[in-house]
Amino acid sequence: MGHSLWSTLREILPGATRPWLRKGQERLLVRCLQRALREQGLLEMYARLLHIVPNIQQQYSSFSLETEYLTLKVRGLHAFQVSLVQKALSLLEIDLSSRFTVVDIGDSSGAHVEYMRSLCENSRSLSVNLDKEAVERIRRKGLEALHARAEDVASLGLTPDILLSFQTLEHLVSPISFLRSLSAGAPCRALVVTVPYLARSRVGLDYIRAAERTGASPERVHVFELSREDWLLIFQFSGWRVLHDQTYLQYPRRGPLRAMKAYWKVMDFEGFYGAILGQDDSWSKLYEWPEVH
């Protein structure tokens, strides 16, 4: 969430100046998100996840979710992500009474592991993160976590049924190499991904645009922010086919609040794109991949 969160904080939470305006902006954003969740059928999932993990304030290592708006924004995204996982379980016809394994790549707090353990009691859920603080935070909850780069997951010897990669691809220097390594070296029944939704692709790297020479951590920095059409090409190129995809918008399509589309597009992201992927090398095998030494 590098670009979205930090640019939004700078623009809509301007410290103590004009607090009445700041509060008015927050109330409008909260209403917009609530209406969007209701319109897209995610309120029930939102409520279930709130019951499972009541406090997500420390979701990230470098900042806290200290406002109603930020908390609602992240919880809405979680509801979308978990609904995708449930869709994947249905598509794959996985028996929820049987033992299956879910590996969450880039998990920063263990929240999704807790969601899965509650919703699917027989699942084994494991988190993988490069951030040592995030790994320790997850382990303190009594959950499984490995300290490793996302790019190295294929070499860890894991045998998951489902891989999760939520808001991770946009942070990677080489998302194609990462996706290719998983498709070629990490057998699984499905990979579930979410990324920011944009109508047109662009390079992120906002800290360079803003000439900010501090705080360029992998958690904060987006490298590639791509459109759905470009992600679809990359998925196929790197050894995957789309079993299902959909977009979660942070504004409603109907009613007066649909005008907020312009705000989200400029100040944040219109929403998030998600896809359930199955391994398929029919396109990737046509490319002469260089040997890795």
Q: What is the pLDDT along the chain (293 residues), one digit of tens a residue?
A: 444 444 434 433 334 334 544 777 888 999 999 999 999 999 999 999 999 988 876 666 555 667 888 888 989 999 999 999 999 999 998 887 778 888 888 887 888 888 988 888 778 888 888 888 888 888 888 888 888 877 677 777 777 889 999 999 999 999 999 999 899 887 888 999 999 999 999 998 988 988 888 778 777 889 999 999 999 999 999 999 999 999 999 999 999 999 999 989 888 899 999 999 999 999 999 998 887 54
Residue among 32, 3, 100 nearest 249 (CA): 32
Residue 57: the pLDDT is: 67
For 2-286, CATH number out of 3.20.20.240, 3.40.50.150, 3.20.20.70, 3.40.710.10 equals: 3.40.50.150
Would you say the C-alpha torsion 135, 137, 139, 142 has a positive or negative sign? negative
The single-letter DSSP state of residue 79 is: H
Q: What amino acid is encoded at 277 in this protein? A: L
Residue among 130, 134, 120, 129 nearest 88 (CA): 120
User: Are 195 and 167 in contact, with CB atoms under 8 Å apart?
Assistant: yes
Q: How many CB atoms lie within 10 A of CB 291?
A: 5
Residue 5: the pLDDT is: 46
Q: Which two tokens stand for residue 232?
A: 């679809």
In whole angstroms, give the CA distance from residue 82 to residue 162. Answer: 12
Q: How far apart are the first and last CA of the chain?
A: 33
Residue among 103, 56, 44, 32 nearest 253 (CA): 32
Pairing of strands 240-249, 271-279: antiparallel
The ranges assigned to domains in the chain are 2-286
Q: How many CB atoms lie within 10 A of CB 90?
A: 12
Q: Which residues, at least 6 apart from 110, have a Cβ–Cβ distance to it below 8 Å?
A: 127, 137, 138, 141, 143, 145
Count of alpha carbons within 13 Å of 59, Cβ hemisphere only?
20
Residue 11: the pLDDT is: 37
Q: Which two tokens stand for residue 167?
A: 């808001």
pTM equals 0.87
Q: Which two tokens stand for residue 60?
A: 């990230």
Give the three-class secondary structure for 245: strand
Residue 214: the pLDDT is: 78
**Neighbouring-strand partners of residue 105:** 128, 165
What's the Cα-to-Cα distance from 278 to each of 37, 184, 200, 244, 245, rounded to whole Å?
Answer: 27, 12, 25, 10, 12
Q: Which two tokens stand for residue 4?
A: 């979205």
